[in-house]
Amino acid sequence: MDALRDSIFGKLADRLEPPAVTVENSTRSFQFYGDNARLFDYKMGEVILSGPADTGKTIACLQDLHTLCLTFPGLQAAMIRQTYKSIASSCFESFVKKVVPGGVVRVRGGDLRPEQIVYPNGSVIWIGGMDNPDKVLSSERDVVYINQAEELGLKSYEYITTRANGRAGNMPGFLILGDCNPGPPTHWILKREKAGKLTRLVSTHRDNPEIYDPLTGVITEGGKIRLQSLSGLTGSNLDRLYKGLWVSPEGAIYELFRTEPTVDGQPAHVVTPFPIPSHWPRIVGIDPQGAFTAAVWLAFDPGSGVLYLYREYMEPFGKSTPDHVQEIIKLSKGESIFYWAGGGPTENQARVDFLNAGIPLMKPEVTDVWAGIDRVNQLLKSNALYIFSNCEGILGEIGDYRRIIGADGSVTDKIHNKETYHLLDGLRYAVIPLTSTFETIGIEDLAENYRIGADY
Ligand SMILES: Nc1ncnc2c1ncn2[C@@H]1O[C@H](COP(=O)(O)OP(=O)(O)O)[C@@H](O)[C@H]1O
Ligand SMILES: [Mg+2]
């Protein structure tokens, strides 16, 4: 019996390494375990707690945020999710109900439209969504907590890094902390971790004391029910939310896209950047309007008939059209762009604005989204389209681009969050003129007809 107990406690001791962190509130105290506890060691930089659903990631982040607000009077913090609506209903509610003791903070805007959480010591947490980032990030922040960081595109994340950079000055340095469920294997969170810019901690169900008893390591009655409902999920939801794996979503639109070569010798669609020979014709696809203006550059290797996507541009709407155009032209300096394609069927005004600012944006002759997607898929299938590995924005979009799954589990033909894939829209616009005409009139003719000068 003793041996058994020793072995159980021995194992437990292993599991509790690093030691649990206790955080005292005036009304309750939380204990944190595993990587949820390690989060509190990070006082500076970028750190994201990643893991399946219900492991205690959000509670740990919120507690960390609260502790920092108490520690550093006058702290300028932010609590952000992809959309304002989603943060107001989920995370904000957990914060006021579970983390901060009643009466300690004031909520500006009220519980229904919370804008700021104000502490007696002058610390403030701004609440907002990346669908309206100017408000929540109107000036420098010491700490930003991103809830469900996997929902953000790389550009939104990078925008946050420009606002939390150490200049706010109410604590030493800056901290960007976040939680996420696993996304696709091409996700920027994994890339940024690999590049050494971000620390990713891994939280598991064992770290949630409501699911596994922290002393005995035994699953609780409530835990059984909670894990049962997660284990009943299917497909990528099961993999991501129960097992914590980074996998492609159901209904993936570019499911042919490979980040790695296959064992039977099919190459990856991602390639290491190389200098593009100056005589290769190039085409730029532009998504001119929306929350972001986006552009992708494709170069055509006349020798092999292969296209390379070698550059991307994505900047928030808010810059003027001439600013975007100047930036895109600057990036294209010295390159022979023979065609600028872009805008949806209704975006004629955007095309006129682009033309007036210096880029003759042509309306794609095929406007159906699925027809464009089909052409990109054809190119992928025939190994005729490769993407430079440094184009992280579009790689992230590709991994997440998917159809909406209906309530009965069927795959619909509607695209999930369709309006957020700006770079992929640019890619569709760019391949349409290439795949429609170059067989019939030849890419050289296109170059003759549409080249607008190689000497930008
Ligand atoms: N360390 C903890 N102590 C007490 N309860 C916890 C702890 N971690 C998680 N919980 C409970 O589990 C619930 C789910 O945690 P949450 O942080 O929302 O999970 P996740 O963000 O990983 O999906 C919380 O609302 C809380 O009731
Ligand atoms: Mg959560």
What span, in angstroms and rounded, lies between the C-alpha atoms of 107 and 79? 13
What span, in angstroms and rounded, lies between the C-alpha atoms of 97 and 92? 9
CA 296 to each of CA 273, 277, 397: distance values in angstroms, whole numbers, following the listed order: 15, 18, 13
Q: How far is Cα of residue 90 from the mean position of the Cα atoms in its chain? A: 19
**What is the Å distance from ligand 1's center to 80 Cα?**
18
209 lines ligand 1 (CB under 6 A): yes
| Mean pLDDT on 199-218 | 96
242 lines ligand 1 (CB under 6 A): no
| Mean pLDDT on 83-90 | 88
Three-state DSSP at 420 gives: helix
- Taking alpha carbons only, the member of 114, 119, 97, 180 closest to residue 146 is 180
**What is the Å distance from ligand 2's center to 179 Cα?**
7
Supply the pLDDT for residue 261: 86
Three-state DSSP at 161 gives: helix
Q: Are 45 and 94 in contact (CB under 8 A)?
A: no
pLDDT score of 227 more than 70: yes
Q: Which residues of 255-266 are buried (b: 16+ CB within 10 A; e: fewer)?
A: eebebeeeeeee
| Mean pLDDT on 314-337 | 90
Ligand nearest, relative to CA of residue 201: 1
Q: How many CB atoms lie within 10 A of CB 10?
A: 10
351 lines ligand 1 (CB under 6 A): no
214 lines ligand 1 (CB under 6 A): no
| pTM (2 d.p.) | 0.76
Q: Which residue has a Cα nearest atom 15 of ligand 1?
A: 56
Weakest-pLDDT range from 3-12, 103-112, 119-128, 197-206: 3-12
Answer yes or no: CATH 3.40.50.150 is held by domain 2-242: no
| Mean pLDDT on 200-219 | 96
Q: Which residue has a Cα nearest atom 17 of ligand 1?
A: 56
pLDDT score of 90 more than 90: no
pLDDT score of 153 more than 90: no
pLDDT score of 363 more than 50: yes
Domain 270-450 belongs to what architecture? 2-Layer Sandwich (3.30)
223 lines ligand 1 (CB under 6 A): no
Q: How many CB atoms lie within 10 A of CB 103?
A: 8
**What is the Å distance from ligand 1's center to 237 Cα?**
19
Q: Give, as one character, the DSSP assignment of residue 238.
A: I
Beta sheet of 270-271, edge-to-edge order: 270-271, 385-388, 306-316, 292-301, 282-287, 337-342
Q: What is the pLDDT of residues 41-60, one digit of tens each?
A: 999 999 999 999 999 999 99
What span, in angstroms and rounded, lies between the C-alpha atoms of 392 and 413? 26
Q: How many CB atoms lie within 10 A of CB 202?
A: 18
Domains of the chain, residue spans: 2-242, 270-450
34 lines ligand 1 (CB under 6 A): no
Q: Report the percent of the chain where pLDDT is more than 90.
A: 63
**What is the Å distance from ligand 1's center to 83 Cα?**
22
Q: Which residue has a Cα nearest atom 12 of ligand 1?
A: 56
Q: Are 244 and 204 in contact (CB under 8 A)?
A: yes
Contacts of 28 (CB under 8 A, 6+ apart): 98, 101
Pairing of strands 270-271, 385-388: parallel
Ligand nearest, relative to CA of residue 54: 1
32 lines ligand 1 (CB under 6 A): yes
Query: Pick the residue with more confidence: 35 or 318?
Result: 35
Supply the pLDDT for residue 21: 59
Q: What beta strand segments (E) does 266-415 contain?
A: 270-271, 282-287, 292-301, 306-316, 337-342, 385-388, 403-405, 411-415
